[in-house]
Chains A and B, each alone.
Chain A
Amino acid sequence: MSYAGGNRGGTEAIVAAEALRAEQRTVHQRTLSVEAVLGALPEAVDRVMGEAGLWDEETAAVAFLQAAGDSAEAVHLLRAHRSTLTRFAFSEPIEPDAIVLDRRICSAHRSPDGPQLLGSTVDYSPRLLRRSGEPDPLPPNDELLAAMASAEARTSAEHPDRTPQRFTRYLAENNLLSPHSESGVDASGLEDPEPYDLALQPVRLPASRSALLSAMALAETGALVGMWYRSITGPDGYTDETVTVGEVRHGEVDLSVRHPHTGEALVIGQVRMTECEAIDHLNDRGEDPGKFTAGYGLALGHNERKAISMAALDSAAHRIRGTALGDEMEQSIMLTLDGLAANGFLEHLKMPHYVTFRSMMERAEAAQAVAVPPVSTEDDTREDYAE
């Protein structure tokens, strides 16, 4: 390898590195099919689609496989792929209340309208490693067996197929929802008639609510969760831990576009999505403590972590809009959460930089030549100041 010696790959070494990777990849592809990835690793595929901003499960699985399970790399592949696609149409706004639910949780109410539909989740299972061939480390005990038996004995209740009332509607009916949350109007007063599309438009500050929501929907999931968590436990927190989840939903919605000639809305397919409403009491100074506010989060596929952190941050962003802290937060959301940007900038550090570094070195050497030591810095006197 000539890379280490000359710190410049050379065409030959670059081609060899790519070939080595391609060889390993063929091994993977022989043992693991796209179907197997879709079947066994759906959460990974969903996350990649959400961060890429592209709904195509099969293509996302191909990317995930080609990236050897590196989700950042898979997102990169999909985003680059998206640039190759022509936009034929823009979809109509989806109707979240027409969702076909897989899962729905309302934490804020003991018995909300509609079911607490737990769906498929690991939330309630002990996280104990289970190797194949070994027995269940925590087999059902008498209590669970009894519960299972009584569940079998009971004829399962039929529920009409309808969308349960949103928790924000419940709050509104009880006159507890802030006018802003009820109307969904951007608190900054910025015009926001059309959703801001970050795939086609640059980031601009101040950002409208739809731009903030777009940036969070596309955000690297870990970065978004990290920002939310920092905002709670960090030294500069701008939200608190009193957010309550009014809704978490996962399900499928129809996607429709207008026919170019007839102008009619036609359903062209379905996407799965995760939605969240985060409820917060308006009990800061200057707010109306008789009301609650609601933040909104939506992620492609099944990604509750993203939807919940997004909703909590949306709520915080609107509560502190227009303050210095709010401006900082807005910039952080718009400019620091995109995985492709952050990872790309990090990757660039691995490129040769010896021209610029040479320039810095020359300045360091020049500084040594002109250096004037600090005046009178005897160490024995310094100790007195360090009390």
Chain B
Amino acid sequence: MSTAAILDKLDHDAGARQNSPRPTVMDEQGKREVRRASLAAVAIPGHQVPFGSREMPVARGWGSGGLQVTLAVGGEDDTVKVIDQGDEEGVNAVNLRRLIRGALGCAGTGDTREATIVQSRHRIPEDRMRVGQTLVLQVPVSEPLRKVEKSVLECQRMHAEADYSRIWVAMYEELAVGGMITTGASYPVMVNHRYLMAPSPIPRWDIPRLNHSEHLTILCHGRDKKIYAVPPHTPVAPVVFDDVPFEVEHTPGSRCELCGSEDTYLVPVQGGNFLCSDVEWCSRVRHRDVDAVEHAALAPQQYYPDAARRQSLRTIGVSDPDRQALTVGGAQAQTALGPDGTRQEWSLKVSGLTKVYPGSWGSSEVVAAADVSFDVAPSEALGIIGESGSGKSTVMRCIIGDETASAGEVRLAGLEDGRRNVFDLDLSARRRLRIGTLAVVYQDPSHGLDMGISAGGNIAERLTAAGWRKYHEIRSRAAALLERVEVPLDRMDDVVGQFSGGMRQRVQIAKALATDPKVLLLDEPTTGLDASVAAGVLDLLRELLAERNIAVVVVSHDFSVVRALTDRAMVMHRGQVVETGLTDQLFADPHQAYTQRLVAAARS
């Protein structure tokens, strides 16, 4: 085409536009921003890309996000299909199609095969979408973690670290309590094995259609200002345990009363009958204008619900292998590698740990821990004893990562053979350490447990964080652990908030040992319990430590606890270590006056 011809055509087009002006719904800068965000979303499948979502002439929640995407990626040459619940005649579809066609000057269609862009609310068309087509899904809730976490910042962290164990725990809880998953539409999916994604509330029926699809899917939440995408040929999998079948919506014997289809997504109508939700497909079936064989293959028949398979999910049992795994060398000894390549004797080494709380109005500077150093070998237990305020708990919190130390080093044999200072790790890496390397039992069980979920679910949280994905294995391991800490198994599915203090502490211990950590920190593990209950927990801990090649630090104000559990001990007073030695010797022959007072208190 010559330049003159192009100019002529531009003049002609401009003239045509003058005659029938189109409303401007969105300015060019806005469209460009949506396109840029869409490209970013395609580049990182399933990741929510924030964008400056503009206000549209439809209510936020009526597809203002999907509308922006369609207006930004579409043009005059496109053919747009708009559906709501699978229906072109739905109020939302009619409204949006009118706006899109008016603003883009493009053609509209009901036929999925003709469409270049399909904008949809709640459905993916029954017909297979093909190469080159774009599916735009309107999203009412973009955050798949919202139901387990209300904090936006925490959700962001969980996505950044791919820390999705809470979603798995929610699944575990539903299976353990009700024998099935109750999530209806908006079932969470993993995209490209990396990001957890809310697939807009398409029914579970449609989820397999996102997996390795030929078309591009762009999902947009206008209200929350997020765009995300599933590019063609991307793996998309519903979040489901390896050994529990995913289920789609299906009522046995149901069929469309108009077209007779049995392999489509059906919605109930009056009189107990059903209709195809996809009106176009239903009409084409009646006109014999479909490839029934291809559709039957596409229909998710392998996921039809089967109540018979659910029965075993609530049973509780402990297998012998699980039981043995707990007692026979659950943890192998692990020591650090020295600079010269020789094995060191310790699993945990703390050097020069210092914590200073700065002063502020109304409070003066406090040196909570000054230059504290010690190491612990496998199968060894070290006690840290002191009154409240002596700094012992501060030392513990700095090692765990609940507080930031002012100075010092902590090394773990389980972390790069002890060559890396734990304090040099970022928060994310420190959190990961606590999954399998470094476990804690807190004085207050609510710090270590989620009181709103079951005993089994609390253990499942640690196991799923460590990558366990088989429901029955998780359940069996949790049962074995609970049996070992003497929690009655018929209470395994009760929420921990209903448990007594001693029982909660036993659950916390079971959770701490779930992944066979190499280092265990016990912070006043029996404080706050009745004397007889405390004695029982202490006996249990003594047995568990004896069974394991685990390095243990026990923090307590009570010399009798330290004496029951540890081989060596150090005494802390006002942030300083004032005396160290073998626990029995310290107890029998304390040198410092302060230690003598502690011993006297334990003897009284």
Contacts and interface: CB of A to CB of B under 8 A. Distances in A.
Query: Do A and B actually bind?
Result: yes
Interface of A: 109-113, 118, 123-128, 137-141, 143-144, 234-237, 240-242, 281, 283, 285, 289, 374-377, 381-382, 384-385, 387
Most buried by B among A125, A137, A144: A137
Please provide the 7 A-B residue pairs with the shortest distance between their CB atoms, ordered closest to farther.
A375-B364, A374-B359, A283-B182, A126-B57, A127-B57, A137-B23, A375-B359
A378 to B, nearest CB: 9
A241 B495 CA distance: 25
Given A143-B101, A143-B108, A113 B270 contact: yes
A374 B95 contact: no
Contacts of B95: 124-126
Given A124-B95, A235-B151, 8 more contacts: A110-B275, A143-B98, A235-B152, A240-B146, A241-B141, A242-B184, A377-B358, A377-B365
Given A113-B270, A281-B184, A138 B23 contact: yes
Given A285-B452, A374-B359, A124 B151 contact: no
B189 to A, nearest CB: 18
A385 B57 contact: no
A118 B358 contact: no
B57 A381 contact: no
Nearest to A236: B150
Nearest to B94: A124
Nearest to A113: B270
Most buried by B among A110, A137, A289: A110
A128 B57 contact: yes
Interface of B: 23, 25, 56-59, 62, 85, 91, 94-95, 97-99, 101-102, 108, 140-141, 146-147, 150-152, 173, 177-178, 182-184, 267-270, 275, 277, 356-365, 404, 406-407, 452-453, 495
B449 to A, nearest CB: 15
B91 A123 contact: yes
A138 B356 contact: no
A285 B58 contact: no
B356 A385 contact: yes
A377 B182 CA distance: 55
A311 B172 CA distance: 31
A138 B177 CA distance: 54
Given A110-B275, A236-B150, A385-B356, A289 B182 contact: yes
A387 B56 CA distance: 43
Contacts of B91: 118, 123-124
Nearest to B110: A143
A289 B175 CA distance: 12
A385 B269 CA distance: 64
22 contacts: A123-B59, A123-B91, A124-B94, A124-B95, A126-B25, A127-B59, A128-B57, A235-B151, A235-B152, A236-B150, A240-B147, A285-B452, A285-B495, A374-B360, A374-B361, A374-B365, A375-B359, A376-B359, A376-B365, A377-B358, A377-B360, A385-B358
A125 B182 CA distance: 36
Given A141-B98, A234-B150, A127 B58 contact: yes
A126 B98 contact: yes
Given A109-B268, A113-B270, A126-B95, A385 B404 contact: yes
Contacts of B183: 283
A237 B150 contact: yes
A374 B362 CA distance: 7
A124 to B, nearest CB: 5
Contact of B358 (A141, A143, A235, A382): A382
A375 B365 contact: yes
B6 to A, nearest CB: 28
B203 to A, nearest CB: 13
Given A143-B97, A281-B182, A138 B102 contact: yes
A107 to B, nearest CB: 10
A229 to B, nearest CB: 10
A130 B62 CA distance: 21
Nearest to B270: A111
A385 B407 CA distance: 9
Nearest to B178: A289
A112 B275 CA distance: 13
A367 B404 CA distance: 33
Contact of B98 (A109, A113, A144): A144
Contacts of A139: 102
Nearest to A121: B91
A135 B410 CA distance: 74
Contacts of B277: 110
A139 B99 CA distance: 10
A126 B150 contact: no
A108 to B, nearest CB: 10
Contacts of A137: 23
A237 B270 CA distance: 36
Contacts of B101: 141, 143
A143 B102 CA distance: 11
A387 B404 contact: yes
A126 B97 contact: no
A159 to B, nearest CB: 15
A140 B95 CA distance: 11
Contacts of A113: 270
Nearest to B273: A111
Contacts of A111: 269-270, 275
B573 to A, nearest CB: 21
Nearest to B147: A240
Contacts of B359: 374-377
Given A377-B359, A381-B356, A141 B364 contact: no
Nearest to B403: A385
B140 A241 contact: yes
Contacts of A127: 56-59
Contacts of B270: 111-113
A203 to B, nearest CB: 28
B358 A381 contact: yes
Contacts of A138: 23, 98-99, 102
Given A137-B23, A141-B101, A144-B98, A374 B151 contact: no
A374 B363 contact: yes
A270 to B, nearest CB: 29
B269 A110 contact: yes
Contacts of B102: 126, 138-139, 141
Contacts of A110: 85, 267-269, 275, 277
Nearest to B20: A139
Contacts of B98: 126, 138, 140-141, 143-144
A32 B452 CA distance: 59
Contacts of B85: 110
A387 B406 CA distance: 9
Most buried by B among A127, A140, A236: A127
A126 B58 contact: yes
Contact of A235 (B150, B356, B404, B452): B150
A195 B23 CA distance: 51
Nearest to B274: A110
A285 B176 CA distance: 11
A126 B94 CA distance: 11
Nearest to B91: A124
A283 B180 CA distance: 11
A137 B23 CA distance: 6
A128 B269 CA distance: 36
A374 B150 contact: no
Given A235-B150, A241-B141, A289-B182, A126 B99 contact: yes
B33 to A, nearest CB: 21
Contacts of B357: 385
Nearest to A138: B102
Nearest to A105: B91
Nearest to A137: B23
Contacts of B141: 241
A202 to B, nearest CB: 33
Nearest to B223: A233
Contacts of A124: 91, 94-95
B105 to A, nearest CB: 10
A112 B267 CA distance: 12
